[in-house]
Chains A and B, each alone.
Chain A
Amino acid sequence: MAEITFRSVLLLSAVFRVVLILYGEWQDAHMAVRYTDIDYFVFSDAAALMASGKSPYERSTYRYSPLLAFLLMPNSFLHQSWGKFLFSASDLLVGLLIHRILKLRGVPEKLSTYSAMVWLFNPFTFTIGTRGNCEPIVCSMILWILICLMKDNPIQAAFWYGLVVHLRIYPIIYALPIIIILDPLCFQHSKKPALVQWSFRTSESSLDSSSAEIIGFWNFFRSLITWRRVVFGILSGTTFLILTGLSFYLYGWDFLHEALLYHLTRTDPRHNFSIYFYHIYLHYEHEFSILEKLISFLPQFTVQLILILRFAPDLPFCLFLQTVAFVAFNKVITAQYFVWFFCLLPLILPWSNMRLKWRGLACVSVWIGAQTHWLMWGYLLEFRGKNVFLQLWMASLLFLAANTFVMINVIRNHAFCPLFKPSSSKSLKDD
């Protein structure tokens, strides 16, 4: 049997995505049910409006940065599938970056390739780009930010971070762990930070426990003001403000409301995977009190804080857990949000002690099973007109339980491995 190389995997993935895009065009033209995501038509319409000098926000339900419409302007004058090719190319880039990050951390070639395949051959991810969903662009930016941090390039990391938060607000949850990881103990003067290699995870004493604790909460406050942290904070904030300010200058309150405020204040009474949907629907006729809003935010906030405090030094692992928790405890959950943590999953697999048989398969089955169970009730409500609100809500509780089950198993079977090796010197003098 021929050995699988990463190059052949990438090539096969590319061909497969081109075939899917072409098939999607055929299905859209010949079948009542379209392959293309409804969001793609929203992006395309907004891009067409922008191309004709109008505001993209004249297209109802366009709730994204004008940058996205700008990227899709060739849909109007080149080909309607331009955007799909762009998103699928980003999807392939995610696979490439996953492989790159794992190689930088010393993961063997074969394991890196198999981990990248978890993204490249995941049915969920290869359909999302080919159907015209823009999430792969966001995922590729986040992975690029990781690479910039690993190569001690905080300026570039900051620029991309400001840009990605402008595009999609959710990466704001990564701000604190990124600031924590820019620990002066890990950065020696005029030397690139040493990355902890994959082989460390079986080593007995190369990184002692006291060092692991030093990279953490207490040291964060002791050495809060360092040039890397300041540069990252100011530059990413400035990038975000410039892009947001420019968008506001061009498109006014429509942009602010649709692209920013809508996502920050969104409460959707319509059914979705979130456990809060039925509660929101049952109380939609009156305003939520401050106490109700606080109580619903508390689980999310607490989980995020604890995950950051415990796992920030192992940055890819921390980001993965944060994203799963963020999606699971959010007031609205749609299927496209799952891509946000799917792109981070391959980065933690080489450090997992969980065997596919049978704990790994159990996690996959429980997660998919809970989702399928929810979809069944959703189908009965939406397409059959059955009153199954209570059952659908209970299915969403089960889905949260499934997410919790997966998170607990992932945490328990993870070999903690900080991203950076602290310097042997205990000096806190910043360079």
Chain B
Amino acid sequence: MSLKFPHELKRELTASSCEVVVIERLPSGVFTDPFELQHFVQRGVFTDAAVFGDTNLELPSFRSNQTVVEIHMSIDSKVLLRDEDESEVILKVPLHARYQPLGHGFSRVEFGAPNIFTCCSSTEQDVTKKLCQPIPTSLIPEKKASPLMWEIPCGNKEHAAVVSAVTFGFAISTALLIVLTSVSYSRQ
């Protein structure tokens, strides 16, 4: 995800201590690992991160609920102080795919646009104030583009009968081989 800041907004942002807050509602086929996000927070990539909703990482998508992820990232003043018409800030969030409902080949998961805010702190007469405001959508290139899609491989229902038959047949055959070898083993 990249954000572009025009001159006017940059001036405003460099005056205070600011961070970008991204709130993304993830589709049910996708999740983010809260512990992985905490690792990024510890390494200073994000200033804060949280996941709300279904945090069970092991469930397939048809047994799980949606999650919302919130990322706080400070904007480096060096980025904003660059003498360019626009400055770009890139934010990367690790996402993982859940096991999808059965289908044919791939399951398409569509991402909605995130809600993005800038939160700036300023101190006046020993009182620290924090003001958050949404970033105009015109500054987010991805919002103008077509929705983001992720094609995730899924199991094929047509395989079910063959897979079950061969799985059990194979298990029984290999078990029989071991049994026969054991029974025919001579202790001499």
Task: Point out residues on A near B: beta carbons under 8 Å.
Answer: 41, 45, 60-61, 209, 212, 268-270, 275-276, 278-279, 281-285, 295-296, 298-300, 302-303, 306-307, 310-311, 325, 328-329, 381, 385-390, 393, 397, 400-401, 404, 407-408, 411-412, 414, 416
User: Does B27 have its Cβ within 8 Å of any Cβ on chain A?
Assistant: no
Interchain Cβ contacts under 8 Å between A and B, 13 examples: A61-B57, A209-B188, A278-B159, A278-B163, A285-B62, A298-B175, A325-B178, A381-B153, A385-B151, A390-B159, A400-B170, A411-B185, A414-B185
Contact for A281 among B99, B106, B168, B172, CB less than 8 A: B99
Rounded to whole angstroms, the CA-CA distance of A41 and B34 in the bound complex is 13
Nearest CB on B from A327, distance (A) = 13
Rounded to whole angstroms, the CA-CA distance of A408 and B151 in the bound complex is 43
Contact between chains at B168 and A408 (CB < 8 Å): no
Contact between chains at A329 and B187 (CB < 8 Å): no
User: Does B167 have its Cβ within 8 Å of any Cβ on chain A?
Assistant: yes
Rounded to whole angstroms, the CA-CA distance of A388 and B154 in the bound complex is 9
Q: Which residues of the partner chain B approach A302 to less than 8 Å between Cβ atoms? A: 175, 179
Q: Which residues of the partner chain A approach B155 to less than 8 Å between Cβ atoms? A: 278, 281-282, 389
Q: Which residues of the partner chain A approach B8 to less than 8 Å between Cβ atoms? A: none
Q: Which residues of the partner chain A approach B57 to less than 8 Å between Cβ atoms? A: 60-61
Q: Which residues of the partner chain B approach A389 to less than 8 Å between Cβ atoms? A: 153, 155-156, 159
Tell me which residues from 95 to 136 in chain B have a Cβ below 8 Å from any Cβ of chain A: 97, 99, 101-102, 105-106
Contact between chains at B60 and A397 (CB < 8 Å): no
Contact between chains at A411 and B181 (CB < 8 Å): yes
User: Does B174 have its Cβ within 8 Å of any Cβ on chain A?
Assistant: yes
Tell me which residues from 52 to 75 in chain B have a Cβ below 8 Å from any Cβ of chain A: 55-58, 60, 62-63
Q: Known contacts being A212-B187, A269-B60, is A404 close to B182, with CB within 8 Å?
A: no
Task: Point out residues on B near A: beta carbons under 8 Å.
Answer: 35, 55-58, 60, 62-63, 97, 99, 101-102, 105-106, 151-157, 159-160, 163-164, 166-168, 170-172, 174-175, 177-179, 181-183, 185, 187-188
Q: Known contacts being A41-B35, A388-B153, is A270 close to B58, with CB within 8 Å?
A: yes
Contact between chains at A404 and B178 (CB < 8 Å): yes
Q: Which residues of the partner chain B approach A397 to less than 8 Å between Cβ atoms? A: 166-167, 170
Nearest A residue to B161 by beta-carbon distance? A282
Q: Known contacts being A209-B188, A299-B174, A381-B153, is A278 close to B179, with CB within 8 Å?
A: no
A-B contact count, CB below 8 Å?
Answer: 121
Nearest CB on A from B157, distance (A) = 7
Q: Which residues of the partner chain B approach A270 to less than 8 Å between Cβ atoms? A: 58, 99
Contact between chains at B153 and A275 (CB < 8 Å): no
Nearest A residue to B168 by beta-carbon distance? A295
Rounded to whole angstroms, the CA-CA distance of A25 and B107 in the bound complex is 39
Q: Which residues of the partner chain B approach A45 to less than 8 Å between Cβ atoms? A: 35
Nearest CB on A from B7, distance (A) = 34
Nearest B residue to A418 by beta-carbon distance? B187
Q: Which residues of the partner chain B approach A61 to less than 8 Å between Cβ atoms? A: 57-58
Rounded to whole angstroms, the CA-CA distance of A416 and B187 in the bound complex is 5
Q: Which residues of the partner chain B approach A325 to less than 8 Å between Cβ atoms? A: 178
Q: Which residues of the partner chain B approach A285 to less than 8 Å between Cβ atoms? A: 62, 101-102
Q: Which residues of the partner chain B approach A306 to less than 8 Å between Cβ atoms? A: 178-179, 182-183
Rounded to whole angstroms, the CA-CA distance of A318 and B139 in the bound complex is 68
Contact between chains at A303 and B160 (CB < 8 Å): no
Nearest B residue to A208 by beta-carbon distance? B188
Q: Which residues of the partner chain A approach B60 to less than 8 Å between Cβ atoms? A: 269, 281, 284
Rounded to whole angstroms, the CA-CA distance of A188 and B75 in the bound complex is 80
